[in-house]
Each structure stands twice: as structure tokens, then as C-alpha cells.
Chain A
Amino acid sequence: MFTVTVTSTTTGASRAWVVQTAPIEGEAETVAEDKGPSPIAPEVKELAWGAGAFIVLFLLMRVVLFPRLKKGMDARYGKIRGDHEGADATRAAARAEVAEYEAEIAAVKAQAAQRIEAARNVLEDERTAALAELKARVGTQRAAATAANEAARAAAEQHVSTAVADVSSRAAELATGKRPKAADVTNIVASLMGGSQ
């Protein structure tokens, strides 16, 4: 069985706790003499120092320190905002330049397209004209050929019908002994040939 009793050396702010096997009477008495402040009740000197320190801090903060710091912060935020706006303006300008360049390109392209279109139109016209001319020539040639053909056929028909009329009137004459009228024969022949066609 042993007892560890700790008492404090009460010599000021450096507080060393010394472990002793038994309490020393004299020290216990000095502890009892200097009990120290009440842990709850505020002390006037501490109140005064604390109040003074806080009031000085608050007044300086209110009058000098905070406004200066805040002004600097606002200036920097303002500068950052200004830089942002400058960057936005530069970006907008660059965008405008790009747009202008693109518009120029578009104009040039449109002009080129117009020229190509004109050239194509000219070519188209020429082609149409040549085609029309060709068609006309072909048409006239075809008409001439058709006319010649018609004429040849008409002549051949005429020739055939004359020959048929001759032959038939001759045959009729041989069969009836009397010569039919030339106009009647021709009509009959024509109607027959027209019907056979």
C-alpha cells in the first residue's frame, strides 16, 4: 500500500507537479494560504485589460484596418471583373473579325458561283441554239425526204392505178365487148386500192 500525493510548488507561473510519498505539512499550509482566484467570479484587472485590448482592436479594425483591406479586395475584384470584361471584348472583336472574313469569303464564293452560272447559261444557250438549228435542219431534210417519198409514192400509185385501170378496162372490154368509161374505171380502181390499203 502506498499513497501518491501530488502537491504543487506554488512558486509562480512555472508549475511543476512533484510526486511525493507523503504530503509535507508546510507546503499544504502555503497552498491553503494562497488559494488563488475564484474560478467563476471575473477579476477587475482581467476585465479591464480584456476590454481595453478588444476596444483598441475593434476601433482600429473599424476605422483603419478593415476598410483598407476591403478596399484592396474590392479593387482586385474590380480589376478581375475588368479583365474579364476586356477578355470578353477581345473575344467579341475576334469573333467579329472572323465573321467579316467569312462574309468576304461568302461574297467571293457567290461571285464565283454567279460567273460559273453565267458561263453555264451561255453554254446552255449555245447548246440549245445548236440543237434547235440541228433539229430545224433535220426537220427540213426530213420534210423534203417525206415530200419526195410522198411524190414518188403518189407517182407510183398513179402509175399502178393507171396500169390497173388499163388492164381492167381491157379485161372488161374483152369480157363485155364494150369499152367502159374511163372515169368509172378509175373510180372503182381507186376505191378498191384505197380499201386494200
Chain B
Amino acid sequence: MKGCIKTMTRCVAFFIIFSMIFSNTSDYLRRPDDESDEIHAFYDEPKDSIDVLFMGSSPILRGVSPMVMWKQNGFTSYVRASALQAPSVTYGLLGESLEYQSPELVVLLCDNIFLEFDYGEREGDLRRALDGMKMSKYKFQIVNQVIAADDRQTLLSYMFPLFRYHERWKEINWAEAEPTPLMVHSFKKGNVYLRGGEPQEYPENFMEPSSTLAPEFNESAKDYIEKTINLCKEKNISVLMLHLPKMSWSYEQSMAIEDFAKEMGVDYLDCDREEIRTQLNLDPAVDYYDQGHMNLIGSIKLSQWFGEYLDITYNLPDHRNEEAYQKWNEDYQLYAEKTKAVS
């Protein structure tokens, strides 16, 4: 018996040492990524403290600033988005988010309803979201789909990203290397803004009706967006389907999504529609990073208008003077400092 206890103790001690080295090595070899960090920092928000969740891919990640909305309107929000986020990931990410928060509104960017998502080709994009997520049944479900679609990928590499990034030891200058664990708290609340950018111009006849038919919805994407909306309905959360400004968009696509939103019984807002564009007053030469994304100037401009729109439309609460939300004011100070040159 004594020998057995000694053996068990040694095994536990060995496992602890192994885990510590494993964790530290993972932090050294992790592919540093702002989007994964922002997705992960979500867990630091106090339970049930977020009023609005923004879900979807890069336009919402780059274009919506929860901090601007906080300063202007006082409601709390978080962007849980990542570049080219697959609708299946959005669904899982939302499911997981709702375990931590009970928002009044979910804003769903759904341009990807037209896209076929290739899990094999888009491994990098998948990882931006999944590497930031804690292990949960939602992450497990997403990974299972990924593995089913691409047998080169493994559950283990998503549970422990070191098994994916293990060969990065070759890229690292060990003399200067530092561990880069996932970010714990974010002052940007999920927004990953872009500075600078190229001056843009709207294409000819932009958002004007044409004889071209809208592309078909991707069946899988549509299914997941439906599931996402139904999940919100089950939890009595309002849903706003959203399209943010980008140059490669058409009137027909906009109408197709509007019809879909009507069918699903949710709101739809298309920021490329003429009347919204007029209100937004975006300058393509200044406010865009590239054809599909706002830069920091554009995101602030857009967030100011959009915050006002959400506040009025959904009658969101104002927490700015509440004791429990003082950390948001501190975070805003940091945000303002970092974006000072622009705002």
C-alpha cells in the first residue's frame, strides 16, 4: 500500500511538471494572433455583463468598436468575430458565449451565407477563432466537423495547439523569445482595428438593381445561420442580421438576405444601402482599409452611427455610471489613448 501511494505521488508529480513545461512551451510556440487573443479575452468579462454580442467575420471584427459605443451610448458589447469565420464556427462561438453572457441583442454578420467554406483550405482562419476558445462541447462540435471534412486535422491539435505549432521552434529566435500566452483582458472588447489603408472608390452602379441574379445561398452556411438565429430565439434574444460596408456587394445579394431575414422573422440592416450610406457619410478615400474592411477611422465613424442606431432601435441600457462597470471606463481610457491620433 505504501509503495502504491509512493508510485501514485510520483506519477502525479511527474504529470504536474510535464504540464507546466508543456504549458510554457505552448506559450512560446503559439502563433500570436490578435483575433485569438480577443476571442479568449471574452472570458474575463463578468458573467451576464454584456448587452450586445457581435458575431461574424472580418468586416465586423474590423469595423465595430464596442468602446466607441460604450462612450457614446453606455451599453456594453463584445465582438466575437474572426477573419472568414465559417457560419458553423459562428454558431458554436455564439453557443459558447451564451454560457457566459445573456445579451439582449445578437448582431449577426451574415455575408458568408453565400460562401462555401473549405475546412481544409481555411485551417488558418479556423484556428484564429478556435485557438482562442476554451475547450467546451461547442468547440468539440466545431472541431469534429473540421475533422470530418479534413482528415489531416486532429482533435488533439485543437485541444492542445502545441501539437499544431510544434515545428515553430525553427522560426523562433530563442535568444529573444518570450512566452506569449493568450490575452486575458481586452480593452478593445474583441475589436481588431486596422490603421491606414488604401483609398477606395465605389464601383460603377454600386448597389443599383441589375439583371444579374443574386448568387445562391450555400446550403450549409444557411443551415448554420438558421440554427444560430433559432438559438437566439430559444433564449429570447433579439437578432439583427447585418451587412457592413464593402465594395464587393450587390443590390441582389442585399435583397436576398433581406428576404431571408424576413423569412426568419429577424431584422436586417445593410450599411451599403443608399439611405444608410448617406447617414454614415463614409469617405471611401479615407475610411476604408481595403475593399472589404473599414480602417480605424472608418470603424469609429461607423460605430458612432451604429451605436446610436442600436441604442434607439433596441432601447439598450446605459451602464456608464454604474459601479460594477467602472472597469469599462478604465478600458475606454486605454482605448482612447491608443486611438488618440485618430479620434
Q: Do A and B bind?
A: no
User: Which residues of B does A touch, CB under 8 Å?
Assistant: none
User: Which residues of A does B touch, CB under 8 Å?
Assistant: none
